Amino acid sequence: MPIKEEIAAYAEEIGEIRRDIHAHPETAFEEFRTADIVADKLTEYGIEIHRGLAKTGVVGTLKVGSSNRCIGLRADMDALDILEENSFDHVSTIDGKMHACGHDGHTAMLLGAARYLSETKNFNGTVHFIFQPAEENVAGGRVMVEDGLFEKFPVEAVYGMHNSPGIPIGQFAMQTGSAMASADMFKIEITGKGSHGGHPHQGIDPIVTGSEIVMALQRVVARTINPVEAAVISVTQFHAGRTMNVIPETAVIQGTCRALLPSVQNQIENRMKQIVEGVCAAHGLTGTVDYDRRYPVLINTPEETSKAAAAAIKVVGEDNVNTHLPPTMGSEDFAWMLQDNPGCYIRVGNGEGEDGGCVVHNPNYDFNDDAIIFGASYWATLVEQEFGAES
Asked if 28 interacts with Zn ion (CB under 5 A), we say no
Quick one: which H or E segment has residue 188?
strand 182-191
Query: What's the half-sphere exposure (Cβ side, CA atoms, 13 Å) at 369?
Result: 16
CB of 361 to Zn ion, least distance (A): 6
- Residue 165 CB, nearest distance to Zn ion (Å)? 11
Q: Cα 188 to the chain's mean position, in Å?
A: 26
Supply the DSSP string of 269-297, one letter for each residue. Answer: HHHHHHHHHHHHHHHT-EEEEEEEEEE--
Q: x/- contact string, 368-387, with Zn ion (CB under 5 A)? A: --------------------
Pick the piece of the chain touching Zn ion (CB under 5 A) from 26-34, 100-108, 237-245, 261-269. 100-108
For Zn ion, which is the closer residue by CB, 157 or 161? 161
Contact window for Zn ion (CB under 5 A) among 101-109, 176-184, 237-245, 249-257: 101-109
> Any contact of residue 297 with Zn ion (CB under 5 A)?
no
Cβ-based nearer residue to Zn ion, 101 or 108: 101
**Partners of residue 349 on adjacent β-strands:** 164
Q: Could you please report the per-residue DSSP string of 141-178?
A: HHHHHHTTHHHHS--SEEEEEEEETTSPTT-EE--SEE
Element (H, E) at 36: helix 32-44
**CA separation for the pair 72, 203 (Å, rounded):** 59
- Taking the complex as a whole, the smallest distance from the CB of residue 163 to Zn ion amounts, in Å, to 8
Quick one: which of 49, 53, 61 has its CA closest to 141?
Answer: 53
Radius of gyration in angstroms for the set of CA atoms belonging to the chain, rounded to a whole number = 24
Binding flag, residue 77, Zn ion (CB under 5 A): no
CB 335 within 8 A of CB 135: no
Q: Of the two residues 53 and 134, which places its CB atom closer to Zn ion in the complex? A: 134
For Zn ion, give the closer residue by CB, 123 or 374.
Answer: 374
DSSP type of residue 359: P
Least distance to Zn ion from the beta carbon of 218, Å? 28
For the CB of residue 135, give the shortest distance to Zn ion in the complex, in Å: 6
State in angstroms the smallest separation of the CB of 175 from Zn ion. 17
Q: Shortest Cβ distance from residue 137 to Zn ion (Å)?
A: 9
Other CB atoms closer than 10 Å to residue 322's CB: what's the count? 18
| Cβ proximity to Zn ion, 183 vs 190, nearer residue | 183
Q: Which is nearer to Zn ion, 104 or 184 (CB)?
A: 104
User: Smaller CB distance to Zn ion: residue 152 or 361?
Assistant: 361
Q: Total residues at the site for Zn ion (CB under 5 A)?
A: 1
Kindly report the backbone phi and psi dihedral angles of residue 245, in degrees, each rounded to the nearest multiple of 5, phi listed first: -110, 25
Interacting residues with Zn ion between 225 and 254 (CB under 5 A): none
CB of 105 to Zn ion, least distance (A): 10
Which residue has the closest beta carbon to Zn ion? 101
Residue 216 CB, nearest approach to Zn ion (Å): 32
| Cβ within 8 Å of residue 347, ≥6 positions away | 161, 162, 163, 164, 167, 172, 173, 174, 325
Give the residue with the Cβ less far from Zn ion, 59 or 101.
Answer: 101
Amino acid at 377: S
Residue 139 CB, nearest distance to Zn ion (Å)? 12
Residues pairing with 160 in the sheet: 74, 345
Q: Which is nearer to Zn ion, 64 or 338 (CB)?
A: 338
Instruction: Give the whole-angstrom CA distance, residue 42 versus residue 34.
Output: 12
State which residue, 140 or 210, has the beta carbon closest to Zn ion.
Answer: 140
Considering the rule CB under 5 A, would residue 161 count as an interface residue with Zn ion? no
Neighbours of 389 (CB within 10 A): 13
Could you say whether residue 134 binds Zn ion (CB under 5 A)? no
CA angle 160, 161, 162 (to 5 degrees): 135
**Binding Zn ion by CB under 5 A: which of 70, 71, 101, 190?**
101
If one asks whether residue 110 binds Zn ion (CB under 5 A), the answer comes out as: no
Taking contact as CB under 5 A, which single stretch among the options 99-107, 167-175, 202-210, 376-384 is the one that binds Zn ion?
99-107
Q: Which residues bind Zn ion (CB under 5 A)?
A: 101
